[in-house]
Structure 1
Amino acid sequence: MPSNEQRREAAKRKLERQLERRAQRAQRRRVLTVAGAVLAVVLVGGGIVGVYLYNRDDDDAAAADATTSTTSPEPDAPADLPAPNPRPASVTCAYPPTPQQPSARPVTPPRTDPVGTSPATVSMSITTSQGPIGVNLDNAHAPCTVSSFVSLAAQGYFDNTPCHRLTTQGIKVLQCGDPTGTGTGGPGYQFANEYPTDQVDPTSAEAGRPANYKRGLIAMANAGPGTNGSQFFLVYGDSPLKPDYTVFGTIDDTGLATLDKVAAAGLADGDTSGDGKPAANVIIQGARLDN
């Protein structure tokens, strides 16, 4: 039977261990905060004033900050994307025009109603100057996005267009789909986000927390909610981004090998910023549905 003195000593040791663990956690948070501040200074000094995706969108800067936030439960562990919910057999899509941004090439917007969610996946081959990229498009959960992408491909919109942006730090993506190669071009219309944005409560904590856009996904770039057009990005490495970008398919192993080769070549002109034009010139020569 322990004495009162022994119980007091045991309680004291337990309290000391708790305080020590709290101090260690606080120290780790301070280190992460300082590292985030230093990274921000480096990025600004290197000329990266915008964000990871599309045209000076500031949403991803917040996502990058969130990965070093002291309020995040696991700063280095982005949450998984939510499991996709079933969609009805057909949906109505809207592709309103963007008069302020005419189409970079003459195209006709895709049909709006009804757009079927079957077949669940659609296979497409993208031929590039650096090698083939096969994709399986998720028609079951992003039918409006897939309908637009397939329509643009069928009209030759992507033919002989550059992949203008490679990001190798923070996130790992190759961005394509702008015939002008400037990152500002689009098809003359826009449309709403789909999975996973439509399955995340915008008022919840998860809406502001980075999600893990895993290696092998293809997703739409945008400049804010409802501004999807023709630009898309291919994820060659797990990337923490807020769930603001429609995931509409997966990349096959051959395509990932092509992307790995492009990423290994780095950025053009010795750029060390981690975000810029790829050194390996990537030209989409064509994109067609597989038979």
Structure 2
Amino acid sequence: MAAAVAIVLCLGLGCAGLVVYYTQLGDDGGSSEAGGEGTGSTPEPGSRTASAQCAGSITPAHDQTRAVGLPDFEAAPQTGTATMRLSTNLGEIAISMDRARTPCTVASFQHLAERKFFDGSSCHRLVTEGIFVLQCGDPTGTGMGGPDYKFADENLTGAQYGRGVVAMANTGQPGTNGSQFFIIFRDSSSGLQPLYTPFGTVTTGLDVVDRVAAGGHDNSITAGGGAPKVGITIQSLSVA
């Protein structure tokens, strides 16, 4: 029996961001992991309506939920690409998103951007041990906030999480995507399990993330990582 480290990027009540836990490898070489399992498959683009594919639903409200209502998943385009632009206090970050592979995720970000959901929010977590990510998207800056809805996972089959990939954080359970996302700034030998919807790739501004990563974090989160010492705030976010 050998110990291995599994890492979950999560959010919401009872799961404040990144959780590191240990699992035991069985004799067959497999592992049993705490937390949620991914769907393991994604419908082919156009195989069913985006609304059914997205499985969006309103979630119970709490103090750190911001009510914005469900996106119009039914009208979500399923072809082409979109660009998400983060104007930050340190410079612009541009992310290319594939509507064919992640129509629900793109539709959600467009919905939130139109409501200025992210404006003035800080990226609340930096992790520089085991995995290398900057986590953003919580308007409260606590790791506990998000919109008043959730939607399904996408693009998990064969998911790869290398430098420059942008993916959704979740609660550790399937279909719990909201607004929080993470940017990977360095390849990790430990790797991430295919549980987090990879929806985009940074095309410009990865040097901004590198600058934040180089400054380190304050170790304020017992589960791993902490607030970046070089603060980064999303002044505005747009999708086009």
- TM-score, normalising length: structure 1: 0.66
AA matched with 1:107: V
The structure 1 residue matched to 2:141, chosen from 170, 173, 181, is 181
Please list the CA deviations of residues 73-125 of structure 1 after superposition, one character each: whole Å capped at 9, or x if unmatched. 9xxxxxxxx99874117522332111144663342321031422122x10121
Distance in 2 (CA, whole Å) between partners of 1:144 and 1:273 is 29
| Alpha carbons 2:82, 2:98 under 8 Å: kept | yes
Distance in 1 (CA, whole Å) between partners of 2:41 and 2:148 is 32
Structure 1 residues 258 and 272: CA distance shift in structure 2, 3 A:
farther
Q: Which residue of 1 aligns with 2:60?
A: 99
Distance in 1 (CA, whole Å) between partners of 2:75 and 2:89 is 36
Deviation at 1:186, TM superposition (A): 1.1
- Per residue, is there more strand in 1 or in 2? 2
Q: Which residue of 1 aligns with 2:36?
A: none
Q: Which residue of 1 aligns with 2:10?
A: 53
Q: Which residue of 2 aligns with 1:238?
A: 187
AA matched with 1:226: G
Q: Which residue of 1 aligns with 2:164?
A: 216
Aligned residue for 1:150, secondary structure, equals helix
Distance in 2 (CA, whole Å) between partners of 1:65 and 1:187 is 32
Q: Which residue of 2 aligns with 1:17?
A: none
| Alpha carbons 1:52, 1:171 under 8 Å: kept | no
Mapping for residues 264-283 of structure 1, pairs under 5 Å: 264-268=214-218, 275-283=225-233
Aligned residue for 1:242, secondary structure, equals coil
Q: Which residue of 2 aligns with 1:134?
A: 94
| Alpha carbons 1:51, 1:57 under 8 Å: kept | no
Structure 1 residues 57 and 289: CA distance shift in structure 2, 3 A:
closer
- TM-score, normalising length: structure 2: 0.79
Aligned residue for 2:145, secondary structure, equals coil
Distance in 2 (CA, whole Å) between partners of 1:164 and 1:96 is 26
Mapping for residues 117-196 of structure 1, pairs under 5 Å: 117-119=78-80, 121-196=81-156
Give aligned-pair identity as a percent.
41
Deviation at 1:129, TM superposition (A): 1.4
Aligned residue for 1:145, secondary structure, equals helix
Q: Between Structure 1 and Structure 2, whose CA radius of gyration is higher?
A: 1
Structure 1 residues 131 and 266: CA distance shift in structure 2, 3 A:
same
Structure 1 residues 270 and 249: CA distance shift in structure 2, 3 A:
closer
Q: Which residue of 2 aligns with 1:24?
A: none
- Per residue, is there more helix in 1 or in 2? 1
Alignment of 1:286 onto 2:224: no
Consecutive unaligned residues of structure 2, counting only runs of 5 or more, are: 31-39
| Alpha carbons 1:103, 1:189 under 8 Å: kept | no
Aligned residue for 2:58, secondary structure, equals coil
Structure 1 residues 157 and 57: CA distance shift in structure 2, 3 A:
closer
The count of aligned residue pairs is 223
Alignment of 1:115 onto 2:44: no
AA matched with 2:167: A
Q: Which residue of 2 aligns with 1:225?
A: 174
Structure 1 residues 173 and 269: CA distance shift in structure 2, 3 A:
closer
Structure 1 residues 248 and 270: CA distance shift in structure 2, 3 A:
closer
Mapping for residues 243-254 of structure 1, pairs under 5 Å: 243-252=194-203, 254=204
